[in-house]
């Protein structure tokens, strides 16, 4: 639950952009990755506009955190990307745009496909049009998803004791590359895929300097994970609360997970080289060195929390990939980016943040309680 009343939220989101500012605009800027991107640029002394409808539980806390740390250089705008007229003014002076606002859950897209389309597809088109109408040729960096490659059902898979791996040696060594055919699957994959392609096309059709990052699983501090999205944080939160964890399918699904600090570095690198990479899409993930199955991750969480987890198995979910590891060689070769945080160290970092900030205790204090 949000600690703020509706009146307090409205006050938090009262815009006050200076007339001479040339701010960075983060659409969905109060969300998990958005607020971390914003914090990074605010630490550099930039002014940042945060355009957000504050609909996701907990994101008002991220807004409060940014305002507490950066004061008047944080410019919140309470608006919804589905309403073009309500967002246009925020783009007037923006020198660049990061677009993270989205409906993020496959399950929600299956239940409400029209709402999913309106947010992800139409919302992205509204962002692009707002940038085009502003006339500043501002770069647009879009947060896409590995779901644009579909469920990868045609990929031959080997089942091991605690994980799935591809039969193909090159896929095992490097992961899925950008050369993989797009294969939109589920309404979520379709809506994000449409948005992905619109962003790339606006570079071709209108000359806007746009680029796309197709993300795997990003995790880290300031993430309020749920069962449907942000599963690494969700598992840790459930474990710290002593609550059971639902596993959909076998738990052998493999994912490459990436710490948010590394994701922020990739977004910044893309913007810094936008004239060189405009109109291109890149995979962003932890790569083979940060690939884990759900079962492996849960074992590590047990070590971190010092307690056995309660788990239950449920039916497979639509579009779930048995294996997805991003081949990030193109991003490395083009921009020199490489993941710096190992998944074990990153998981510990998220654990410590959750204990300190969400559960009101330091890791040492919690360890003392567990052994008392």
Q: Would you name the residues annotated as active-site residues?
A: 188
Cα 163 to Cα 168: distance, rounded to the nearest angstrom: 15
Give kind and range of the element (H or E) at residue 235: helix 231-241
Q: Is 153 exposed, middle or buried (0-12, 13-18, 19+ CB in 10 A)?
A: exposed
Cβ pair 18, 41 in contact under 8 A: no
Which residues lie across from 166 on neighbouring strands? 157
List all residues 6 or more positions away from 223 whose beta carbon is below 8 Å from its beta carbon. Answer: 32, 230, 232, 233, 260, 350
Kindly give the pairing relationship between strand 157-159 and strand 164-166: antiparallel
Which residues lie across from 6 on neighbouring strands? none
Cα 221 to Cα 357: distance, rounded to the nearest angstrom: 9
Cβ pair 102, 28 in contact under 8 A: yes
Q: Tell which phi-psi region holds residue 17, choosing left (phi > 0), alpha (psi between -120 and 50) or beta.
A: beta
Token pair listed for 289: 């060195």
Cα 287 to Cα 263: distance, rounded to the nearest angstrom: 12
Ranges of H-type helices in 144-184? 169-174
CB atoms under 10 Å from CB of 369, counted, come to: 9
Cα 173 to Cα 143: distance, rounded to the nearest angstrom: 25
Token pair listed for 283: 């995979």
């Amino acid at each position: 639950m949000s600690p703020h009343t509706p009146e307090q939220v409205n006050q938090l989101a009262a815009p006050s952009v200076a007339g001479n500012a040339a701010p960075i605009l983060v659409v969905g800027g109060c969300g998990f990755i958005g607020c971390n991107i914003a914090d990074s640029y605010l630490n550099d002394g930039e002014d940042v506009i945060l355009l957000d409808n504050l609909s996701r539980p907990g994101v008002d806390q991220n807004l409060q955190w940014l305002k507490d740390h950066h004061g008047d250089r944080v410019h919140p705008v309470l608006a919804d990307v589905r309403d073009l007229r309500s967002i246009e003014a925020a783009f007037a002076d923006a020198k660049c745009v990061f677009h993270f606002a989205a409906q993020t859950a496959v399950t929600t897209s299956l239940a409400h496909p029209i709402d999913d389309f309106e947010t992800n597809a139409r919302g992205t088109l509204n962002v692009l049009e707002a940038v085009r109408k502003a006339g500043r040729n501002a770069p647009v960096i879009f947060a896409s998803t590995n779901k644009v490659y579909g469920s990868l059902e045609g990929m031959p898979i080997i089942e091991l004791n605690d994980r799935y791996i591809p039969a193909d040696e090159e896929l095992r060594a490097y992961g899925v590359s950008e050369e993989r055919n797009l294969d939109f699957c589920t309404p979520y994959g379709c809506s994000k895929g449409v948005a992905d392609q619109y962003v790339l096309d606006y570079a071709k059709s209108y000359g806007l300097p746009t680029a796309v990052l197709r993300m795997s699983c990003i995790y880290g501090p300031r993430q309020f994970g749920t069962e449907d999205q942000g599963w690494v944080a969700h598992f840790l939160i459930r474990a710290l609360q002593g609550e059971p964890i639902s596993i959909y399918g076998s738990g052998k699904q493999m994912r490459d997970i990436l710490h948010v600090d590394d994701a922020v570095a990739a977004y910044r690198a893309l913007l810094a080289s936008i004239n060189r990479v405009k109109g291109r899409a890149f995979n962003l993930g932890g790569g083979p060195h940060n690939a884990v199955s759900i079962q492996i991750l849960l074992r590590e969480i047990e070590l971190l929390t010092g307690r056995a987890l309660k788990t239950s198995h449920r039916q497979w979910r639509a579009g779930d990939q048995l294996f997805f590891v991003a081949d990030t060689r193109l991003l490395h070769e083009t921009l020199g980016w490489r993941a710096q945080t190992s998944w074990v160290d990153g998981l510990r970092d998220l654990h410590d943040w959750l204990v300190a900030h969400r559960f009101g205790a330091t890791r040492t204090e919690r360890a003392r309680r567990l052994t008392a």
